[in-house]
């Protein structure tokens, strides 16, 4: 089974200081089939419910739940309701750590 590798970290327009935030939704016709990211992903369910599959683990999530995917974890999201909406934060850990130790402090 092939997995789509979503590399938004390679799009300089998509990342700001190692962080990328967006909102998205899935439905029965358009689930998030198995894929990976080279970034840590924090997913917050804003409405609906879904089945999350990550590597060999499955869990049901609903509005108000948050899921953390490690970098390079094969994962997928299948809606349990007609539609599931969520917010996503991608984090480039090495980039954020190097920024945290800069001498000039905050930006």
For strands 32-37 and 40-47, give the pairing: unpaired
pLDDT per residue as tens digits for the range 14-30: 566 678 899 999 999 99
pLDDT in tens, 31-75: 999 999 889 999 999 999 999 999 889 999 999 999 999 999 999
Distance (Å, whole) CA 59 – CA 3? 20
User: For tokens 């970034």, what's the residue?
Assistant: 39
């Amino acid at each position: 089974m092939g997995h789509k590798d979503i590399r938004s970290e390679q799009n300089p327009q998509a990342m700001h200081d190692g962080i990328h935030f967006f909102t998205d939704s899935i439905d029965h016709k358009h689930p998030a089939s198995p894929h990976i990211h080279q970034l840590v992903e924090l997913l917050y369910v804003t409405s609906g419910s879904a089945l999350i599959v990550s590597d060999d683990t499955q869990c049901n999530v609903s509005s108000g739940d948050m899921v953390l995917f490690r970098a390079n974890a094969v994962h997928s999201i299948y809606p349990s309701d007609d539609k599931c909406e969520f917010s996503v934060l991608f984090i480039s850990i090495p980039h954020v750590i190097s920024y945290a130790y800069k001498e000039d402090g905050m930006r």
